Structure 1
C-alpha cells in the first residue's frame, strides 16, 4: 500500500523491560486506540507489527510488538514511527484534519498571494502550528492552526487560506 494511504499514529520511544517490550508513544486522541489500527507499519512499509498493549508507562504505553522478543530488538526500534492504513482510522469532522493531509498544501493569504507550503505541523503544547516554508524566505512562517488565522482548508484544491497576524509575517 502506498505511503499516502497511511497515517502516522505513533512512535517507538525505546525499550521497556528486558523481554522485548517497547515504550510506545501514541498520537491517537485516545492513546490506547493505537492497538486497534494494527497491523502498524514502519514509514517505508518494510516491516509490520501487531500490537498488544501491556500497561501504562511513564511517557506512553507499554506494548508487545510481533517479532520483537529481546530488549536489543526493542531498543533497535527506538525512534521508528508507526503508520496505520488510512481505511482503519475513523472519519474526521469537517473541521478536523490528519496532519499528513495538511503537509505539502499550498498556503495563500486572503488576496491569493502565495505564502509557501506546509512543511510540518508542530504542537509545542499550546495547539497545532503550521510550519510554512517558502523558497527565498529566511525562516519558516509559523502559523497558529486556529480558525481565526486559518479560515479555509480546501483539501480537494490542495490549498489553505491563511490570514497571518502581523507579528508572524
Structure 2
C-alpha cells in the first residue's frame, strides 16, 4: 500500500494511558465515522505499516482514543507520537454529486463565468481559514476561495468546475 492509494486520516498527538493507548487528532469533520475501524496504516520509518486496533472511542469529541494491538506500554506508545495515519481511498464514504474530496478535483479544468477557462486545479490549500483552489494558468497561480457562493457546478464526469467569482478577483492574478 502506498500513500497515493490512501488518504490522510490524522496524526498521533499524545499518549493516553500507561497501557499504551494513544490520542489521534483526526483530519475530519465527522470523527465518529472512524470509531469502528479494525486497522489503519501508520507512516513508520517512511513505510506504511498496518496496525490493528483493539479498541477505540471518541475523547473530548474531537480526538480518537485508540488501543493498538501489541502496543502495551507507555514506551511503545511514545514511539508512535507524531506518526501520521492513513486509510485506503476505498474507505472514503460516497459523497453526493455536488460534494467532493479535495484529492478528487486535482486536474479539473476551472471555468469562470466572466473569464472562461482560467486553468487547472493543481492543489487545494486547506491550511488557511478557508480552503483555496490553487489554479495553474500558464506560469501564473490563481487562488480562489472554496466558497459555496462562488461554485456554480462541479461536473465530475467531464472534470470541470464552474465558478462565478466576484468582480476583480481573477483580474488580480491575470493582469
Q: What residue in structure 2 maps to residue 26 of structure 1?
A: 26
Pairing 1:107–2:110 present: yes
Between the aligned partners of 1:136 and 1:86, the Cα distance in structure 2 is 31
Q: What is the TM-score of this pair, normalised by structure 1?
A: 0.72
Asked if structure 2 preserves the Cα contact closer than 8 Å seen for 1:107 and 1:162, the reply is yes
Greater fraction of residues in strand: 2
How far is 1:66 from its partner? 3.0
Between the aligned partners of 2:65 and 2:10, the Cα distance in structure 1 is 13
SS in 2 for 1:95: coil
Larger Rg: 2
Give the number of aligned pairs. Answer: 165
Q: CA RMSD in A?
A: 3.2
Between the aligned partners of 1:166 and 1:38, the Cα distance in structure 2 is 49
| Structure 2: 5+ residue stretches without partners | 171-175
Asked if structure 1 preserves the Cα contact closer than 8 Å seen for 2:107 and 2:120, the reply is no
Q: What residue in structure 2 maps to residue 130 of structure 1?
A: 132
Asked if structure 2 preserves the Cα contact closer than 8 Å seen for 1:109 and 1:115, the reply is no
SS in 2 for 1:84: strand
Between the aligned partners of 2:71 and 2:163, the Cα distance in structure 1 is 45
Which residue among 88, 91, 104 is the counterpart of 1:88?
91
Between the aligned partners of 2:23 and 2:111, the Cα distance in structure 1 is 40
Pairing 1:66–2:69 present: yes
Asked if structure 2 preserves the Cα contact closer than 8 Å seen for 1:103 and 1:121, the reply is no
Q: What residue in structure 2 maps to residue 161 of structure 1?
A: 162
Which residue among 117, 120, 139 is the counterpart of 2:124?
120
